[in-house]
Amino acid sequence: MMNLSNRFEELCFPLTKNQELISRLWKEIEKKYTEKGRHYHNLLHLENMFRELEKVKDNISDFTALSFAVFYHDIVYDTSSKSNEEKSAVRAEKRLTELGLNQNETALVSTEILATKSHQKSESMDINYLLDADLSVFGKDWEIYHNYTQNIRKEYSVYPDFLYKPGRKKVLNYFLELESIFKTDYFKERYELQAKENITAELRLL
């Protein structure tokens, strides 16, 4: 199992030696991602994203900013809200300012987090890699994908099927209608075909 707290600490050390601050910020991340009701958008999701991004690290121009974006992209997650990404970006800006990250880098992290809202292809390849890592579960084998769909359903358990299913279908069709689900050659070659098969299979079950 990946040690996310060590990874976060290593990210912070070049910015501050204030161990108390680093520890407080990590504890906040840990607390938010282990909230009751987080069946998919949890620490395992972050681990998977980092595993995927490690494989393409050499292609990423600012791995520090992207790593902070991974840690903070779902820090605010409320299934009844339509502004999770905006709230997560604001939280990231506050925390990274506390750490002493410069304004340009902080703004970059915020932009990367906001990109996870619409999952549109970006001129920034770093953003494209972030989006692809975020959606990589779409292209895993059916068992992993099916488990993901069940966990998402649990996260939205407050909604009855007659509300959930049309919403879920809309999301899935949105991804199918994109020119391609994945934005980078690496992820496209690795996951695109399986992702389309998985989504099509889930749509048949809804």
- Domain boundaries in the chain? 1-134, 139-206
* pLDDT of 44 above 80: yes
Q: How many Å apart are CA 9 and CA 204, to the nearest integer?
A: 44
| Rounded Cα–Cα distance for residues 170 and 150 (Å) | 17
Mean pLDDT of the chain: 97
pLDDT (mean) for 155-175: 97
The residues, ordered by sequence, that sit 6+ positions from 3 with a Cβ below 8 Å of its Cβ are none
Whether residue 150 has pLDDT greater than 70? yes
Out of 1.10.1740, 1.10.10, 1.10.3210, 1.10.3470, the CATH code matching 1-134 is: 1.10.3210
The pTM of this model reads: 0.97
DSSP state of 12: H
SS3 79: coil
83 CB contacts (<8 Å, ≥6 apart)?
none
Average pLDDT over residues 102-109: 97
Structural element, H or E, at residue 7: helix 4-12
